[in-house]
Homo-oligomer: A and B are copies of this chain.
Amino acid sequence: MSEKKKTTIVLFSGDYDKAMAAYIIANGAAAYDHEVTIFHTFWGLNALRKENAEPIKKGFLENMFGKMMPKGADKMGLSKMNFAGMGPKMIKKVIKKHNAMTLPQLIEMAQEQDVKLVSCTMTMDLLGLDEKELLDGIEYAGVAAYLGDASEGNVNLFI
């Protein structure tokens, strides 16, 4: 058993700002040498979608979900003050102005720091998402694997 501290985050939310918070905490924990896992479930899976994945044959409902949900981190809306898409633009502007990192940059940094990015297989099944539509280098698992990590975690959050 490792002596490292462990941090796990369930990212349920598909909101840009909540995902930012999740990845900022994850990157911080990784910088302090924690073993970090982000388990993406439900709408949180959208953060892992590729912007330009090849279209995949799906059933009607799965196709509808696929079309209606944001394709990747950069397309996600805000939990508050979304203003039909104006809010994310404002946030991205202040991020740029203050030399902070956008969500896609935070995800890239997490991958460089070996944060374990997990895609919930049950959600993929329900919403009809395919591995080909998701970022490379991520893992696939279910609630049992999450609980294995979390039950040894020092910091466990649901976002």
CA distance A155 to B152 in the complex (A): 8
Asked if A144 contacts B28 (CB within 8 A), the reply is: yes
Complex contact B150–A154 (CB within 8 A) = yes
> How many copies of the polypeptide does the oligomer hold?
3
Please tell me if the beta carbons of B150 and A153 are within 8 angstroms of each other in the complex. no
* Chain B residues closer than 8 Å to A68, beta-carbon distance: 81
On whether the beta carbons of A17 and B29 are closer than 8 Å, the reply is no
Q: Which of B69, B144, B157 sits near A10, CB closer than 8 Å?
A: B157
Which residues on B sit within 8 Å (CB–CB) of A31?
Answer: 144
Among residues of B, the one whose C-beta sits closest to the C-beta of A44 is B21
Interface of A is mostly: helix
Contact of A93 among B7, B61, B69, B153 (CB under 8 A): B61
Number of interface residues of A (CB under 8 A): 55
Give every chain B residue within 8 A of A90 (Cβ-Cβ): 61, 64-65
A1 to chain B, nearest CB (A): 14
If A42-B17, A43-B80, A95-B126 touch, does A28 touch B143 (CB 8 Å cutoff)?
yes
Chain A 135-159 interface 0/1 with B at a Cβ cutoff of 8 Å (1 = within):
0000000011011001111111111
Decide if B150 touches A151 in the complex (CB within 8 Å): no
CA distance A6 to B23 in the complex (A): 24
The interface residues of chain B lying within 8 Å CB-to-CB of A24 are 122, 143
B126–A94 contact, CB under 8 A? yes
A49 within 8 A of B: no
- Contact code string A11-35 (vs B, CB < 8 Å = 1, else 0): 0101001100100110011011010
